[in-house]
Amino acid sequence: MAALVSAFALSSCLGESESYDYPTYEAMVTVGTNAKNLYSDAGYTLNPMNTITGLDKVERAVVAFNLVPSELNGAQLEAGKTYDVELDANYTYSIPTKSVIDLNNNVVAADTLINTQQPISSVNGIHVKNGYLTANLFFSTRQYSPYYVDLAFDSEKDVDLNTNTVTFKLYYDCNATPANIQVNYPFSFRLPSGLFYRFSDASSINVVLKYMVGLGGETNELTCTMKPEDFFLPSY
């Protein structure tokens, strides 16, 4: 069994496979119980025919794979369907995953996030699926130094039921100076289940993500839409 590569490593690592040919497919997935099923953000489910050590210990991952049997490779994968696959450990890695922080009546957390935050170069897209908000971050850090990325909101002030909108703020703390490398990583954030009940009657939900881009406090924002069922794993 090959080992799962951690996305925190800031380096390229290969697994134990003897072949380095890139697989046909790649997908962001939510890992089911014991990694028996992998629920892709594109809406299809993967049924792995092999195991990767450590995959059952993470919540989110990017997996590379081929279909089984191999004659099916190249086919367009369809939402709502399940596929038998062979995972490739060489190109599979975990996505750093954390819970969203609720700042309502949480002054200490709010002060800490605000006082330690540093600019993020850019966020290249956000989406919500299977109960997670995922954002692709481009930021500066120092090699081999730990850093902190958090997503927060105020469950009262940042939820607008009139427009079916929830607003989140992304916080980044480099935790080291000087920053000497640029990093591009996906991060996933587990959405609080209580939000579902606030929006359960909505046909769609507007999601706003704000983040600081300048030392003067300048911010950018991205938006996406989600459905109430995106708070959960698929039921099929």
Q: How far apart, in whole angstroms, are the C-alpha atoms of residue 236 and residue 233?
A: 9
Q: Which CATH superfamily is domain 97-231 in?
A: NigD-like, C-terminal beta sandwich domain (2.60.40.2370)
Is a pLDDT exceeding 90 seen at residue 102? yes
Q: Reduced to 3 states, what is the DSSP secondary structure of residue 176?
A: coil
DSSP state of 74: T
**115 Cβ neighbours under 8 A, 6+ residues apart:** none
Extended strands (E) in 12-131: 25-31, 38-40, 45-48, 52-53, 60-67, 82-94, 97-99, 101-102, 122-129
Residue 151 Cα distances to 54, 71, 214, angstroms: 25, 42, 18
Is a pLDDT exceeding 90 seen at residue 17? no
Which of 159, 186, 157, 21 lies closest to 93, judged by CA?
Answer: 186
Mean pLDDT of 103-121: 94
pLDDT band at 40 (very low <50, low <70, confident <90, very high): very high
Query: What is the reported pTM?
Result: 0.89
* Sequence ranges of the chain with CATH classification 2.60.40.2370: 97-231
* Sequence ranges of the chain with CATH classification 2.40.50.500: 2-94
pLDDT band at 41 (very low <50, low <70, confident <90, very high): very high
Phi, psi of 108 (to 5 degrees): -60, -45
Task: Report the chain's mean pLDDT, rounded to a whole number.
Answer: 90
Which of 2.40.50.500, 3.30.70.100, 3.80.10.10, 3.30.420.40 would CATH assign to domain 2-94? Answer: 2.40.50.500
